[in-house]
C-alpha cells in the first residue's frame, strides 16, 4: 500500500487552513523568489484538491432523490 492510501483524507477545512498558511507565507516581505514559487505551486495543487472535493460533493447532492436519500448509480 502506498502512503497516500493509508493516510486519512483531509477535510476541506484542513485544506483551506493549509492554503491560508501558504498565503500568509507569501505575504512575508523577506521570502525569496524561489521559496515563493515553491509555496505558490504547492498552494495551487492544494486548491485543485479542494476544488475536486467540492465537485464530488456537488455531484452527490445532485443525485439526491425526492426522499432526500442518495441514489446510487
What confidence tens digit (pLDDT) does each residue in 46-69 have? 999 999 999 988 887 777 766 677
**Cα distances (angstroms) measured from residue 17 to each of 25, 32, 34, 67:** 13, 23, 23, 35
Instruction: Categorize the per-residue pLDDT at 7 as very low, low, confident or very high, splitting at 50, 70 and 90.
Output: low
End-to-end CA, the chain: 28
What confidence tens digit (pLDDT) does each residue in 14-30 have? 999 999 999 999 999 99
Residues 6+ apart with CB under 8 A from 32: none
**Cα distances (angstroms) measured from residue 30 to each of 18, 33, 34, 54:** 20, 9, 12, 34
Indicate yes or no: pTM above 0.75. no
Amino acid at each position: 500500500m502506498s502512503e497516500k492510501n493509508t493516510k486519512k483524507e483531509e477535510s476541506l477545512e484542513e485544506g483551506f487552513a493549509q492554503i491560508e498558511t501558504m498565503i500568509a507565507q507569501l505575504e512575508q516581505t523577506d521570502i525569496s523568489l524561489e521559496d515563493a514559487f515553491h509555496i505558490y505551486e504547492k498552494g495551487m495543487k492544494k486548491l485543485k484538491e479542494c476544488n475536486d472535493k467540492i465537485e464530488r460533493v456537488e455531484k452527490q447532492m445532485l443525485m439526491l432523490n425526492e426522499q432526500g436519500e442518495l441514489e446510487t448509480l
